[in-house]
Amino acid sequence: MLLGLGAGTVTAAIAARAFSPFVVVGSAIIDLTPGPMKEAVIRVFGHGDKAFLFVVLAVVVGVVAALAGVLEARRPWLGRVIVLAGGAIGVAAALSRADATALAALPAVVTGIAGAWVLVFLIRRMPAAVPPRAQTSPSRRAFLSWSVAAAAIGVVATIGGQLATRTASAAANARAAFKLPRPAASATPVPAAASFDVSGITPVITPLDKFYRTDVELVIPQLDPEQWSLNVHGMVKHPFTLSWKELNELPMEEHYVTLACVSNDVGGPLISTAKWLGYPVRLLLERAGVTGDADMVYSESFDGYTAATPLSAMTDPDRAAILAIGMDDQPLPFARGFPARLVVPGLYGYVSATKWVVDLKVTRFADYQGYWVTQGWAEKAPVKQSSRIDVPRPGVRLGAGQQWIAGVAWEQHVGISKVEVQVDDGPWNEAELAAAVNVDTWVQWRWSWHATPGDHQLRVRATNADGVQQTSGVSDVLPDGATGWHTVEVSVA
Ligand SMILES: Nc1nc2c(c(=O)[nH]1)N[C@H]1C(S)=C(S)[C@@H](COP(=O)(O)O)O[C@H]1N2
Ligand SMILES: [Mo]
């Protein structure tokens, strides 16, 4: 039983923090306990009320476990059924929580299965009958050793899992209590003219829950900001470590920046825009004093994920490369790198946007490679000029007559000056461009099409602020980003 609970607690720490078997069953008991009884317990035990509950639970679990062992030894199956029924109670308790997630029941399932399995394992190793005068027969000793080992592993796993969960909730509490500092330099507000009133068009600022996400972390890390610090070192005169408190006392800047993933296909969804709050990396590097022939900043997350960013992009006073702590007026969500991440306009995320960043090393491209570069992606990866049709959606049936063709176009840090739309093999038509928020964000466009019955191909291309037209040449996302003109097929009735 201890081993089952340990396995369940570790599962909870990894996959469903709030749903460790003890916690869900305990919470359900609290919910089911009549009010007067609850008050009596609190009166007697005060702040020890939860401890009292857990002691009672532990005793009940111990008695049930002993019973299951005795029964399983006599009648195989019966003990297992009892253990699995215990797991089922845990599942029911987990699913009854208001905040139950898809994985909420998993720790209890693991508890039941691991408990039943170890029960069978031990019973199989139990000596058939203990001769009265041979108390220390080898099989008896082996059985006791296995039992003690299972119990010990269970206790260690339970305590370890519980501690891991506690640390995680310290991070959640810290994030909930954290008030973003007011920006010393606010972003220019998004002009009304940046958004077209076209149904289905991509909003110019992406709602937080719609922002694309890519990372290699299996479980969303929850770092406690009090434990966080940023180490700035390498080819610098004055290496230093920045604490969370120090970071928050620095004057923060707000910037609207579009972030793009190199894995985004032409027309794909892996690109989004947010308002970021952070401190310029350039000023951190100034404080450190870059020396020698450094040409790269090697950023590392707490778990060893890395990115190599050109030093010039980090030190350019005209490029808002920031150590971000806020996203759309909120502390960074955990999935976005809380407490801090990098945002560098104009570079694909894999060479710039390290989340949960804890280390900046000034170095040389010749000496280090970022995580994805070792997997065959390009060393230098500026975001490629592109445009996307969002309206109409591919394959839809439209009515004949006036229809909007609309979408977004971007070349971060350069800007877009023109978007054109082509229907089938017809002429290119200049679309209307919405106001740009700034050169680091995408821009909306729309063109009013007189749709005629039949099947049609719609195609889009952009021209950047330097007059360079988006290439029609098709290239794959590997190694440094996709190119080509986004084409959508629709039929008009
Ligand atoms: N620690 C860490 N940071 C990371 C990644 C990662 O896997 N781990 N992925 C990068 C990639 S490939 C991209 S495109 C961006 C995506 O940021 P987002 O998930 O906030 O959209 O984060 C970057 N930062
Ligand atoms: Mo990415």
Q: pLDDT tens digit string along 331-382?
A: 999 999 999 999 999 999 999 999 999 999 999 999 999 999 998 999 999 9
In a domain, 183, yes or no: no
Pick from 393, 386, 437, 435: nearest CA to 200: 393
How far apart are the CA of 337 and the centre of ligand 1, in A?
9
Q: Ligand 1: which of 206, 208, 211, 215 to mutate, judged by most atoms within 8 Å of the beta carbon? A: 215
31 vs 34: CA distance, rounded Å: 8
In a domain, 22, yes or no: yes
Question: Is the CB of 299 inside a 6 Å radius of any atom of ligand 1?
Answer: no
228 vs 167: CA distance, rounded Å: 13
Q: How confident is the model at residue 316, as a pLDDT?
A: 97
In this structure, the answer to whether residues 266 and 218 fall within a common structural domain is yes
Q: What percent of the chain is predicted at pLDDT more than 90?
A: 77
Structural domain range at position 312: 192-375
pLDDT, tens only, 65-87: 999 999 998 888 999 999 999 99
| pLDDT(130) > 60 | no
Question: Is the CB of 261 inside a 6 Å radius of any atom of ligand 1?
Answer: yes
Pick from 32, 188, 9: nearest CA to 97: 32
In this structure, the answer to whether residues 14 and 133 fall within a common structural domain is yes
In this structure, the answer to whether residues 117 and 28 fall within a common structural domain is yes
In a domain, 173, yes or no: no
Summarize the confidence of residues 476-487 as an average pLDDT: 96
In this structure, the answer to whether residues 82 and 107 fall within a common structural domain is yes
Question: Is the CB of 258 inside a 6 Å radius of any atom of ligand 1?
Answer: no
pLDDT confidence of 471, banded at 50, 70, 90? very high
In this structure, the answer to whether residues 155 and 218 fall within a common structural domain is no
Ligand number nearest to the C-alpha of 216? 1
In sequence order, what are the beta bridge partners of 306? 300
Q: How confident is the model at residue 136, as a pLDDT?
A: 63
Question: What CATH code is carried by the domain that includes residue 232?
Answer: 3.90.420.10
pTM: 0.78
Q: How confident is the model at residue 70, as a pLDDT?
A: 92
Q: How confident is the model at residue 131, as a pLDDT?
A: 58
Residue 71 CA to its chain's centroid (Å): 46
Q: Could you tell me whether strands 416-423 and 330-331 are parallel, antiparallel, or unpaired per DSSP bridges?
A: unpaired
- In this structure, of 10-19, 265-274, 439-448, the range with the lowest mean pLDDT score is 10-19
Question: Is the CB of 410 inside a 6 Å radius of any atom of ligand 1?
Answer: no
In a domain, 406, yes or no: yes
- For the chain, what is the mean pLDDT? 93
Summarize the confidence of residues 24-29 as an average pLDDT: 84
**Which residues, other chains included, contact 310 with Cβ-Cβ below 8 Å and sequence gap of 6+?**
295, 296, 297, 347, 365, 380
Question: Is the CB of 353 inside a 6 Å radius of any atom of ligand 1?
Answer: yes
Q: Give the residue, by CA position, lying nearest to ligand 1 atom 20.
A: 336
- In this structure, of 2-6, 161-165, 171-175, 262-266, the range with the lowest mean pLDDT score is 161-165
Among 29-43, 63-77, 304-318, the range of highest mean pLDDT: 304-318
| pLDDT(18) > 80 | no
How far apart are the CA of 10 and the centre of ligand 2, in A?
30
Supply 472's token pair: 């029609």
In this structure, the answer to whether residues 414 and 353 fall within a common structural domain is no
In a domain, 177, yes or no: no
In this structure, the answer to whether residues 211 and 360 fall within a common structural domain is yes
pLDDT confidence of 205, banded at 50, 70, 90? very high
Pick from 381, 398, 380: nearest CA to 489: 398
Higher pLDDT, 40 or 469: 469
Summarize the confidence of residues 232-249 as an average pLDDT: 98
| pLDDT(453) > 80 | yes
- In this structure, of 22-26, 103-107, 295-299, 331-335, the range with the lowest mean pLDDT score is 22-26
Q: How confident is the model at residue 47, as a pLDDT?
A: 66
Q: How confident is the model at residue 36, as a pLDDT?
A: 78
In a domain, 180, yes or no: no
In a domain, 457, yes or no: yes
Residue 260 CA: nearest ligand 1 atom is 14
322 vs 254: CA distance, rounded Å: 9
How far apart are the CA of 297 and the centre of ligand 2, in A?
18
Q: How confident is the model at residue 260, as a pLDDT?
A: 97
Ligand number nearest to the C-alpha of 271? 1
Higher pLDDT, 34 or 467: 467
Summarize the confidence of residues 296-316 as an average pLDDT: 96
Q: Do the Cβ atoms of 493 and 400 come closer than 8 Å?
A: yes
| pLDDT(243) > 90 | yes
Structural domain count, the chain: 3
Beta-carbon count within 10 A of 140 CB: 16
Question: Is the CB of 216 inside a 6 Å radius of any atom of ligand 1?
Answer: yes
In a domain, 178, yes or no: no
Q: How confident is the model at residue 156, as a pLDDT?
A: 94
pLDDT, tens only, 454-467: 999 999 999 999 99
